[in-house]
């Protein structure tokens, strides 16, 4: 029964991502990360604040007391609202202003403990791994689609822009 629940969850998660993530823009931070320079003081008495350099590090402030925190490996801090303590998948968050990440904790097929990752073989374009706590599940894209590393979903080959996975390279190209 547990395996059936896991499979159902994976299918629902993949469907939600496939239908929604394509249309959701990456969230911009509530305030520019560079403007929040934290040392041993909170910028506000209460809230959650992104680290200025490391995308998966953040700070919790309660009554002016600061606590440094890390998202689980493979997740990054979503700084959309200082009222929410939320870690998210990297393709949903713009980390360009704070590109550093914690040291990876890899396992079989999972470069990080959590997330969506391309198949180990670069020429396998339609399969990818969904990793939770370092345990993987392999997911296969529907026919004609490939895994898009930038969006975390299956998409058309030319939209994914993966080397070795374009329509032409996969033999899907149309000739006039």
| Domain CATH code at residue 120 | 2.170.140
How would you write 125-157 as a 3-class SS string?
A: CCEEEEEECCEEEEEECCCCCEEECCCCEEECH
Give the helix/strand (H/E) hosting 76: strand 76-77
Which letter does DSSP use for residue 124 in this model? -
**Integer distance in angstroms from the first to the last C-alpha of the chain?**
52
Overall number of domains in the chain = 2
pLDDT recorded at residue 169: 83
Q: Is residue 11 part of a domain?
A: no
In a domain, 80, yes or no: yes
Strand pairing report for 127-132 and 135-140: antiparallel
Q: Give the span between the Cα atoms of 136 and 116, in whole angstroms.
A: 9
Q: Does 155 lie in the same domain as 128?
A: yes
Beta carbons of 103 and 111 less than 8 angstroms apart:
no
Instruction: Give the C-alpha separation, 95 to 32, whole Å.
Output: 11
Does a structural domain hold residue 140? Answer: yes
pLDDT digit string (tens) for the chain, length 176 residues: 444 444 444 444 444 444 344 334 444 454 444 444 445 689 999 999 999 999 999 999 999 999 999 999 999 999 999 999 999 999 999 999 999 999 999 999 999 999 999 999 998 999 999 999 999 999 999 999 999 999 999 999 999 999 899 888 887 765 44
In three-state secondary structure terms, 97 is coil
Same domain flag for 43 and 77? yes
Structural domain for 125, as ranges: 104-170
Give the ranges where the chain is alpha helix by DSSP (H): 2-16, 157-160, 167-170
């Amino acid at each position: 029964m547990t395996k059936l629940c896991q499979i159902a969850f994976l299918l629902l998660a993949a469907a939600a991502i496939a239908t929604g993530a394509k249309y959701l823009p990456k969230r911009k931070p509530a305030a520019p990360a560079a403007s929040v320079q934290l040392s041993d003081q909170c910028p506000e008495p209460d809230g959650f604040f992104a680290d200025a350099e490391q995308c998966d590090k953040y700070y919790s402030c309660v009554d002016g007391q600061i606590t440094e925190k890390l998202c689980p490996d493979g997740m990054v801090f979503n700084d959309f609202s200082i009222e929410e303590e939320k870690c998210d998948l990297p393709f949903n968050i713009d980390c360009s202003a704070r590109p550093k990440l914690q040291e990876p904790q890899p396992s079989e097929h999972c470069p990080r403990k959590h997330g969506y990752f391309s198949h180990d073989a670069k020429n396998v374009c339609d399969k990818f791994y969904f990793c939770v706590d370092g345990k993987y599940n392999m997911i296969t894209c529907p026919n004609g689609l490939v895994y898009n590393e930038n969006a975390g979903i299956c998409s058309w080959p030319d939209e994914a822009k993966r080397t070795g996975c374009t329509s032409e390279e996969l033999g899907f190209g149309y000739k006039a």
